[in-house]
Amino acid sequence: MPYSIALAGKGGTGKTTVAGMLIKYLIKNGKKPVLAVDADSNANLNEVLGLEVTGTLGNAREEMKKGAVPSGMTKDIFMSMKLEQAVAEAEGYDLVVMGQPEGSGCYCAANTLLTGFLEKLSANYPYIVMDNEAGMEHISRLTTSNVDILLIVSDTSRRSLQAAVRINKLAKELNIGVGKSCLVINQSKDTPPDAVLEIIKNAELELAGTIPEDSMVYEFDLNGRPTIEMPEDNEAVQAAFEIFDTIIER
């Protein structure tokens, strides 16, 4: 079974950037190949990784539902072909983008085939990093299940922390097979104040560490440069790596 890490959190906390840093960390430490899964309907993990996406699993599902399977080709062969086309390959990791959520009508057959092929694909990778959409929808739909680590990303704002607490609570209530939940405070300007630590403590949520606000992260994002290419001596990257050292089994 692959070692899986799912990221969650309120929008705007830098969750996808942290996912990129995590992939960078795994590759650096020889934990590869990594399967990166962009499960956010507003997909942009490929931009963090510097990869071009030519197809998504959502597109394949739509094509099958609309009867785009060529004559003489079975649906399972069609979906298998589409899945292979949707995998963007890179050095040490591959990326697959889930794409837009389901539209109207029944997607049962397409989803069944898609789930089966995705499970087969996942078996080829010792590590999986899943970047989920903001909020809690992915958990309430059980998209994030049976993961070793649920990495919840927050900033220091009260609303973001409250979202992190609710995500952690919902994951426990649904009993979806999360090995452990950890909180990372991103874009931190200072040491978390006592009020923040009190919220975390009362929620019984483990604080794995903080990643400082960093101008280089902003500059890379502004200029469209893949943040996975940031140097390892960058302060934010170093802080992230230290966090990953403590939460990921060696």
SS3 sequence of the chain: CCEEEEEEECCCCCHHHHHHHHHHHHHHCCCCCEEEEEECCCCCHHHHHCCCCCCCHHHHHHHHHCCCCCCCCCHHHHHHHHHHHHEEEECCEEEEECCCCCCCCCCHHHHHHHHHHHHHHHCCCCEEEEEECCECHHHHCCCCCCEEEEEEEECCCHHHHHHHHHHHHHHHHHCCCEEEEEEEEEEECCCCCHHHHHHHHHCCCEEEEEEECCHHHHHHHHCCCCHHHCCCCCHHHHHHHHHHHHHCCC
Within 8 A by CB and 6+ apart from 147, the residues are 4, 5, 6, 130, 177, 178, 179
Pairing verdict, β 178-188 and 87-90: unpaired
Does position 15 have pLDDT exceeding 60, yes or no? yes
CB atoms within 10 A of CB 30: 7
Which of 145 and 57 is assigned the larger pLDDT? 57
Within 8 A by CB and 6+ apart from 223, the residues are none
Tokens of 186: 């991103």
Q: What does the pLDDT read at residue 146?
A: 79
Which amino acid is located at 162 in the chain? Q
Which of 140 and 177 is assigned the larger pLDDT? 177
Q: What does the pLDDT read at residue 105?
A: 53
Predicted TM-score (pTM) of this structure: 0.89
pLDDT per residue as tens digits for the range 98-154: 776 665 555 455 456 556 777 788 889 999 998 987 766 666 554 666 789 999 999
Domains (range + CATH), the chain: 3-247 (3.40.50.300)
Read off the pLDDT of each residue in 168-190 and give the average, rounded to a whole number.
89
Distance CA 167, CA 163 (A): 6
Distance CA 118, CA 104 (A): 23
> pLDDT tier at 83 (50, 70, 90 boundaries)?
confident
Residue 48 CA, chain-centre distance (Å), reads: 12
